[in-house]
Amino acid sequence: MRSCASPPFPKRISPRSFADRTALPPLVSPQWTPYNDSAMDTDTATLEEALRKRTGMAAPELVRRDSDGRLTCLSCGHRCLIGDGKRGICKVRYNEGGTLHVPRGYVGALQCDPIEKKPFFHAMPGTNALSFGMLGCDLHCSYCQNWLTSQTLRDAAAGTAPRDVSADDLVHLSLREAASTLASTYNEPLITSEWAVEVFKRAKVAGLKTAYISNGNATEEVLRFLQPWVDLYKVDLKGFSGRGYRELGGRLQTVLDTIQMLHRMGFWLEIVTLVVPNFNDSESEIRDIARFLSGVSVDIPWHVTAFHADYKMTDRRDTTEADIIRAAEIGKEEGLHYVYAGNRPGRVGDWEDTVCPKCETHVIERSGFRILRNRLENGSCPRCWTSIPGVWS
């Protein structure tokens, strides 16, 4: 697997180290002018002002004007009804003078990662994805690992300085790093779909794959808007309890509907469930998830991954290897062909490998994000020639 070129991409910036943005590698577009944030501090009002300068108009497909002048935003499943001067639940889409303003023209996080980290195990194995994120989210998960970007304007401790960038900059940087894929991630990409499509249109011309790493709180309108431009779509299915989803600020049925629509519309789809002790780790709930996914398609890859204490959820133990191995076994028992145990590299036996469902040949062997061996031949098992579904080239 090719590693990212030097200099390395930094980790996402803490709100107390905005000056550290100078460590980011230069982008190659001569038109790029870096945003001067030397005077910016962590004050929410200051960051809100900075973000207001980095907006565009909502896509017509993603807004509906009601008879009373309010706007319905269609970018996520909340379908917020937004009056003049008000914001949606995400905090970054707002109505000003009857126009829905949406994020555009910056990144809040930027990193080159193995595509397996997203995780996609059935897409472009052994290649890199240039991952970019903006700020804001439509949920408020108490265990979010990307809370610095996702909880901007909702949590005063969250927030990173926006960095001005063009769509061409991101494409050029992807090519410079020999990435196969451009991925919108780190915050919820659905609420910044206009910017993602602007970037992805240019990425497609350059021959890149494109990806969404999403909570799946979508609408049919936004998925149709994305359909021509997004190749790979990962959904975090956070449980199978309506009550659990309400705690996170969402609705279970909306996410289930999204998964079914994504599969029907032809996106390459992989599902991740972070197994959180005393939240979604009961055998009955894990089995309900597996049974639902199997009912959509037994060929959907399902990643069950290990939780560690983060953000506001620090009151429980980490998920063990035994926990996620048992969850993976349940997925197999319910008929899923491709189940993976994640976040415990080298400690979950064969549950990191892609195994042919017919002859049980280990077609792709992994340890964490590293490809140890790839035996795929034209997308098929080299032993029995069973087709292994995925986006392999």
- pLDDT value for 81: 97
Tell me how far apart the alpha carbons of residues 91 and 106 are, in angstroms, rounded to a whole number: 16
Tell me how far apart the alpha carbons of residues 106 and 113 are, in angstroms, rounded to a whole number: 19
- Predicted confidence (pLDDT) at residue 266 exceeds the cutoff of 80: yes
Tell me how far apart the alpha carbons of residues 272 and 237 are, in angstroms, rounded to a whole number: 6
129 contact partners, CB below 8 Å, separation of at least 6:
112, 113, 114, 115, 117, 118, 120, 179, 180, 181, 182, 183, 211
Tens-digit pLDDT profile for residues 209-235: 999 999 999 999 999 999 999 999 999
- pLDDT value for 222: 98
Q: In terms of C-beta density within 10 A (0-12 exposed, 13-18 middle, 19 or more buried), how is residue 262 classed?
A: buried
Radius of gyration of the chain (CA): 20
- The b-or-e profile of 236-247 (16+ CB within 10 A means b, else e) is bbbbbbeebbee
Please check whether residue 97 is in contact with residue 148, taking contact to mean a CB–CB distance below 8 angstroms.
no
- Predicted confidence (pLDDT) at residue 325 exceeds the cutoff of 70: yes
- pLDDT value for 206: 98
Tell me how far apart the alpha carbons of residues 128 and 4 are, in angstroms, rounded to a whole number: 8
Please check whether residue 35 is in contact with residue 162, taking contact to mean a CB–CB distance below 8 angstroms.
yes
- pLDDT value for 333: 98
Of 244, 51, 17, the residue nearest 134 (C-alpha)? 51
Task: Give the up-direction half-sphere exposure of residue 10: CA atoms within 13 A in the CB hemisphere.
Answer: 15
Tens-digit pLDDT profile for residues 112-154: 999 999 999 999 999 999 999 999 999 999 999 999 999 988 9
Average pLDDT over residues 248-269: 98
Q: What is the dihedral of CA 391, 145, 221, 92, to 10 degrees?
A: -140
DSSP character for 318? P
- φ/ψ (deg, to 5) at 380: -130, 160
Please give the C-alpha separations between residue 344 and each of 91, 317, 322, in angstroms, as whole numbers. Answer: 34, 15, 10
At position 59, the amino acid (one-letter code) is A
| Omega of the bond leading into 7 within 30 degrees of 0 (cis) | yes
User: H-helix or E-strand containing 82?
Assistant: strand 81-82
Tell me which residue has tokens 């969850």. 327
- Predicted confidence (pLDDT) at residue 32 exceeds the cutoff of 60: no
Of 215, 3, 35, the residue nearest 108 (C-alpha)? 35
- pLDDT value for 23: 35
DSSP 206-260: TT-EEEEEE-----HHHHHHHTTT--EEEEE---S-HHHHHHHTS-HHHHHHHHH
HEC string of 159-176?
A: CCCCEECCHHHHHHHHHH
- Predicted confidence (pLDDT) at residue 335 exceeds the cutoff of 90: yes
Select the more confidently predicted residue: 204 or 27: 204
Please check whether residue 31 is in contact with residue 172, taking contact to mean a CB–CB distance below 8 angstroms.
no
